[in-house]
Structure 1
Amino acid sequence: MNCTYLFHSTFLLEAEHVMLLFDYTGGPLELPDEKKCLLVFASHRHGDHFNEAIFSLAQRQGGPTVFILSSDIATHLVPHHVQVRWMGPYEEISIHDVAVRTLASTDEGVAFVIQAEGRTIYFAGDLNHWHWEGESEAYNQQMKRDYHAQLRLLPTKLDIAFVPVDPRLGPFYSLGAKDLVERVKVKTLIPMHFWKDSSVCANLKAELKDTGVEVLQLTNEIQTWRNL
């Protein structure tokens, strides 16, 4: 699979027969093969993960375009002419030979677990171990329990995992990623949700250097990795 990072939490995965676009909010987007089916995922309603601009993709020429939207997104924002599959937590669908199931986020919406062309892909959205220094100890401990409960529902192996590493969490930015790789065998971990502070990618790679996980090094520019 080829993976293109666009910004923040927006990624395009291109497989042999299908393209998967995650949390696109607008801006430059070049689809490498217009003839392929395009599945457009939106993990939740927050403005850095969902924008009505995604529905312009329904007008593209070529293969079919299907939108897979978290059920917390307002239905009145969706044009009548687009093909939508709504998903809440703990649901499963299969579309164009791609199997999708959801977990519950620790913030808003859902996380996606996807089986596509022999690969297992995890897109966390805002499912994360959000440990905020300004919150109470009780809050942070409950967040830890809630996050670990969702991790127990993941497969034992993930080929590609898109995981938040938010620098606003300060020294706790990597908790979610470290919790994940301690419990699940991850081949390639792709940091996201770092706004414009891509330095956390190098920091995370250093923290996970003894785990055997490949951590992609993202910058603030559009990047493509081939044959993941």
Structure 2
Amino acid sequence: MKITYIHHSSFLVELDFVNLLFDYYRGNIPAIDLEKPLIVFASHAHGDHFSKKIFELASSYRKIQYILSDDIDEKKVPDNCKDKVLFVGAGEQFTNRTFFQNNIEKKENRIEIETFQSTDEGVAFWITCEGKTIYHAGDLHFWFWRGEAQAWNQEMERRYYEEIDKLNGRHANIAFLVLDPRQENDFYLGINEFVKRVEVDHIIPMHCWGEYSIIQKMKFHSCAVAYKDRIAVIQQEGEILEWNS
């Protein structure tokens, strides 16, 4: 599995039979096989997670599909892409076989996708493909803000726990998780609560707003002693991460 960090919460995941692009709105997409299926995910409509530029990819990739959160305005989809778009809401579970109608029984051709309700807007994605499990949080996160009222933060905590409790006991090979330096001393809360519930092989922080030093702060926070070696370090756009598992 090859992962390229593009920008903010956007990553390209290259598997053997399919490529996955998450939350692209800016940055350089690596050159990849144009004949290999490409699935483009957008977790919600916020400008740092979605751009109409993703539809320009359809002119280059013959086997392309878009899986978009249903808070994204359908009017933003150009006519030439309408038959390539699937809008999804939270709490959905489905098998994607769009590219493989002639060989749908092949294991490598099945992509199982689940969606979860964000604590902000849109959805998070849990994807099973080629024997791998990949989680992309979108903006599903423990958005604790010291400037907010206690009741607001308690409600945020409740909503976050309610959603990630649905993943309790699961295993993910890769988890793209929010690590936002704007939360100041509370930056660690979302990741720490997630890994209490989900066994994650590789934790990939995102949503860092270019402040990559926050990743080292996470690795060496007292809460992360048991899992610090599983936190990937990203220092710049275009960085490549590769694992066999």
> Under a length normalisation based on structure 2, what TM-score does the superposition of the two structures give?
0.89
What RMSD in Å do the two structures reach over aligned CA positions?
Answer: 1.3
Letter in 1 for 2:92: E
Q: Is the 8 A contact 1:131 1:172 kept in 2?
A: yes
Note if 1:119 corresponds to 2:135.
no
Percent identical residues: 41
Q: Is the 8 A contact 2:68 2:87 kept in 1?
A: yes
Q: Is the 8 A contact 1:99 1:116 kept in 2?
A: yes
Total equivalences in the alignment: 227
Partner SS, residue 148 of structure 1 = helix
1:225 corresponds in structure 2 to 241
- CA distance, structure 2, for counterparts of residue 227 and residue 18 of structure 1: 16
Deviation at 1:213, TM superposition (A): 5.3
Deviation at 1:212, TM superposition (A): 6.3
- CA distance, structure 1, for counterparts of residue 235 and residue 121 of structure 2: 26
- CA distance, structure 2, for counterparts of residue 223 and residue 206 of structure 1: 21
Which structure is higher in strand share? 1
1:214 corresponds in structure 2 to 230
Q: Is the 8 A contact 1:26 1:54 kept in 2?
A: no
Deviation at 1:34, TM superposition (A): 1.8
Letter in 1 for 2:14: E
1:48 corresponds in structure 2 to 48
- CA distance, structure 1, for counterparts of residue 198 and residue 27 of structure 2: 34
After alignment, is 24-33 or 83-92 more displaced? 24-33
1:141 corresponds in structure 2 to 154
Written as runs of structure 1 = structure 2, the 5 A alignment for 1:132-171 is 132-154=145-167, 156-171=170-185
After alignment, is 206-215 or 29-38 more displaced? 206-215
- CA distance, structure 1, for counterparts of residue 166 and residue 133 of structure 2: 14
**Any gaps of 5 or more consecutive residues in structure 1?**
none
State the Cα deviation string for residues 169-190 of structure 1 (Å, max 9, x = none): 1111110000001111111000
Which structure is higher in helix share? 2
Note if 1:190 corresponds to 2:191.
no
Going from structure 1 to structure 2, the CA distance change for 1:203 and 1:212 (only over 3 Å counts) comes to closer
State the Cα deviation string for residues 28-70 of structure 1 (Å, max 9, x = none): 2123222210000000000000010010011114x40000000
Note if 1:33 corresponds to 2:14.
no
2:192 corresponds in structure 1 to 178
Q: Is the 8 A contact 1:187 1:213 kept in 2?
A: no
Q: Is the 8 A contact 1:189 1:213 kept in 2?
A: no
> Under a length normalisation based on structure 1, what TM-score does the superposition of the two structures give?
0.96
Structure 1 stretches of 4+ with a deviation exceeding 4 A read: none
Partner SS, residue 159 of structure 2 = helix
2:93 corresponds in structure 1 to 92
